[in-house]
Amino acid sequence: SASVVVLTVLGNNLLENQEIKVFPNPVTQQKVHYEIFDDEIMKIILYDLRGRAIKTQITNNQSNGEIDISNISSGKYNLKFIF
């Protein structure tokens, strides 16, 4: 099981009333859950600390869901949400 810590949410130009929640952090059960208020997410990209895209997930314009990280190595990662 991976021990994954989300360090930052990258490259998002959020309006003041928007909020992204990413939990649990660190990840405990091989899934990262996300929620955004007042918008829909088209795609999520998980990057390693070297800036390499490790996983891309198409979300079909959802405002919440989860990312399966069961095949991701333990470490620290960054998430990018594309709206």
pLDDT digits (tens, 9 = 90+) for 31-58: 989 888 877 888 999 998 899 999 999 9
DSSP assignment, residue 15? -
pLDDT at residue number 57: 94
pLDDT at residue number 16: 47
Percent of all residues in the chain with a pLDDT value above 90, rounded to a whole number: 20
Token reading at 46: 């998980």
Q: Are 5 and 22 in contact (CB under 8 A)?
A: no
pLDDT at residue number 9: 65
pLDDT at residue number 1: 46
CA distance 6 to 76: 6
pLDDT at residue number 28: 76
Token reading at 79: 């998430």
pLDDT at residue number 60: 86
> 25-31: long-range contacts (C-beta < 8 A, 24 or more apart)?
27/2, 27/3, 27/69, 29/1, 30/1, 30/2, 30/68, 30/69, 30/70, 31/66, 31/67, 31/68, 31/69, 31/70
